[in-house]
Amino acid sequence: MSGNQMQMVNAFDTAQAEKLPETERALIDRRARLLGPAYRLFYEKPVHVVRAKGVWLYGPEGEAYLDVYNNVASVGHCHPAVVEAVSHQMGVLNTHTRYVTDGVLDYAEALLATMPAEIGHVMFTCTGSEANDLALRVARHHTGAEGLIVTETAYHGVTSVLAEASPSLGPNMPKSPLVRLVPPPAAAGGDRAAVGAAFAGGVQRAIEDFAAHGIRPAALLVDTIFSSDGVRADPAGFLAEAVETIHAAGGLFIADEVQPGFGRTGAGMWGFARHGILPDLVTMGKPMGNGYPVAGMAARPEILTAFGRDLRYFNTFGGNPVAAAAGLAVLGVIREEGLIANAARVGALLKSGMEEAARRFPVIGGVRGAGLFVGADIIEEGKPSAARAARIVNGLRERRVLISASGPAGNVLKIRPPLPFSAENAAYFLEQMTAVLRTL
């Protein structure tokens, strides 16, 4: 990899551009010229797409790619119910939350109904980053403290404070004196009490280190499926002790549901609920509007009291009537199409299929996940192998099947299709995966 490509798993290496066919090279050159050097494309041979439907993305010649990666188009690409809701509302009214509008209230009511009764308010943003940024501001205001605890390979967003709390951006990202990193939950799963105690122990050590530096903790912020840490879902319930630990130190627990939220785990709407915990703040994004930028932060009302009294909040596009229509349509599709049950059923097929592959191909060191979020460790001589993971990811891409990789060593296959993924889609994916594994 060339220097500027170092910090992302599965990044296209621009130094390899001359190997591409002329039309693709021209597009990639144009992109670099217009968008500048900070963006990264996926894959050794980037994928050019022009339209999508359901679980399929299509290239310029009509070639179909099976989407086993995207969690934004979570109810399926270009779902007609969402398209219709957004198009209709765009032609009726689109304005901001300083006027009284009905849509945002209907949506807030429907969204809060999916959460524990203690979570009584929801505020809207346009991105997951904005939701996390707001949650951090609220947590700091409520606690009067500043410290933030996240996991070692976390990703929480693009703002200045969140980039400093997103170690998955790599070693070139400056560290913040107000952030402490804790080891993620054990990859191997195992006993719930032991996994919970080990994770909470890391949180306790971070709190003690803050104290040694005269800092009090405002919050523990975690992605409740630990995506960028390499997918850590089991044993469900292991988060409870860490929540108690942060509470005992006066800090809040923020559940980042940008990845597991909206039914992905197959065990209900929310990743935190699978752990049987009650967060103080919940942040949401990606799948929330099925591609329309909708995100938000839900809260226990008492946490918002001081912030609402002392400050005010306005997000120009957040909670606009079109965003609310998109969000409401997504909730309707999840319910009407039984997508949570589908995530559980097809997710189990995907996971058991990968476990079966692990028995046949020793390159797979372990398989984890919940619902339609499956991670598989790729190893070589017992050690994590990002190179082999990249060969699998790119081998599948050649077969027009899209996945990616994540984790601290970049060796965890990230298998995370849209929620309407069918048993037939899963069987096709596993067939293609097996074919690629045979070539290693």
Q: Which stretch binds ligand PMP (CB under 6 A): 30-38, 123-131, 358-366, 409-417?
A: 123-131
Minimum CB separation from ligand PMP for residue 263, in Å? 16
Site for ligand PMP in 187-226 (CB under 6 A): 223
Among 157, 251, 271, 327, binds ligand PMP (CB under 6 A): 157
* Interacting residue with ligand PMP among 104, 258, 390, 393 (CB under 6 A): 258
Exactly one of 14, 97, 129, 425 binds ligand PMP (CB under 6 A); that residue is 129
Which lies closer to ligand PMP via its Cβ, residue 223 or residue 241?
A: 223
Q: Among 204, 199, 201, 202, which Cα is nearest to 239's?
A: 199
Q: Least CB distance from residue 431 to ligand PMP, whole Å?
A: 29
Q: Considering the complex, what minimum distance in angstroms separates the CB of residue 422 from ligand PMP?
A: 25
HEC profile of the chain:
CCHHHCCCCCECCHHHHHHCCHHHHHHHHHHHHHHCCCCCCECCCCCCCCEEEECEEECCCCCEEEECCCCCCCCCECCHHHHHHHHHHHCCCCCCCCCCCCHHHHHHHHHHCCCCCCCCEEEEECCHHHHHHHHHHHHHHHHCCCEEEEECCCCCCCCHHHHCCCHHHCCCCCCCCCEEEECCCCCCCCCHHHHHHHHHHHHHHHHHHHHHCCCCEEEEEEECCCCCCCCCCCCCCCCHHHHHHHHHCCCEEEEECCCCCCCCCCCCCCHHHHCCCCCCEEEECHHHHECECCEEEEECHHHHHHHHHHCCCCCCCCCCHHHHHHHHHHHHHHHHCCHHHHHHHHHHHHHHHHHHHHHHCCCEEEEEEECCEEEEEEEECCEECHHHHHHHHHHHHHCCEECEEECCCCCEEEECCCCCCCHHHHHHHHHHHHHHHHHC
- Pick between residue 258 and residue 396 the one whose CB is nearest to ligand PMP: 258
Q: Which stretch binds ligand PMP (CB under 6 A): 42-50, 126-134, 168-176, 396-404?
A: 126-134
Q: How many CB atoms lie within 10 A of CB 288?
A: 29
270-299 residues in contact with ligand PMP (CB under 6 A) are 285-286, 295
Please choose, out of 154-162, 193-201, 334-342, 405-413, the segment that lies near ligand PMP by the rule CB under 6 A: 154-162
By C-beta, is 187 or 221 nearer to ligand PMP?
221
- How distant, in Å, are the alpha carbons of 144, 271, 319 from that of 132? 17, 16, 16
Structure tokens at 206: 């971070």
Segment interacting with ligand PMP (CB under 6 A) among 76-84, 153-161, 233-241, 397-405:
153-161
Nearer to ligand PMP, 184 or 365 (CB): 184
Among 158, 181, 197, 358, binds ligand PMP (CB under 6 A): 158
**128 counts as binding ligand PMP under rule CB under 6 A:** yes
Interface with ligand PMP, residue 184, by CB under 6 A: no
The least CB distance from residue 285 to ligand PMP, in Å, is: 4
Near ligand PMP by CB under 6 A: residue from 12, 155, 307, 373: 155
State which residue, 76 or 261, has the beta carbon closest to ligand PMP. 261
Contacts of 27 (CB under 8 A, 6+ apart): 48
Binding status of residue 74 toward ligand PMP by CB under 6 A = no
Q: Does position 127 bind ligand PMP by CB under 6 A?
A: yes
Told to check if 164 binds ligand PMP by CB under 6 A, we report no
In angstroms, what is the minimal distance from the CB of 125 to ligand PMP?
9
Determine, following the binding rule CB under 6 A, whether residue 132 of this chain makes contact with ligand PMP. yes
Q: Distance of CA 389 to CAs 43, 386, 404, 407, Å?
A: 12, 5, 9, 11
Length of the chain measured in residues: 440
Shortest CB 150 distance to ligand PMP, Å: 10
Provide, rounded to whole angstroms, the least separation between the CB of residue 258 and ligand PMP: 4
Q: Judged by CB under 6 A, which stretch of 207-215, 243-251, 254-262, 401-409 contacts ligand PMP?
A: 254-262
Total number of residues binding ligand PMP (CB under 6 A)? 16
Site membership for ligand PMP, residue 384 (CB under 6 A): no
Instruction: Kindly tell me which residue out of 67, 256, 280, 377 binds ligand PMP, with binding defined by CB under 6 A.
Output: 256
* Sheet of 121-125, strands arranged across: 121-125, 295-299, 281-284, 252-256, 217-223, 147-151, 179-182
Window of 151-159, 235-243, 363-371, 403-411 that interacts with ligand PMP by CB under 6 A: 151-159
* Residues forming the site for ligand PMP (CB under 6 A): 127-129, 132, 155-158, 223, 227, 256, 258-259, 285-286, 295
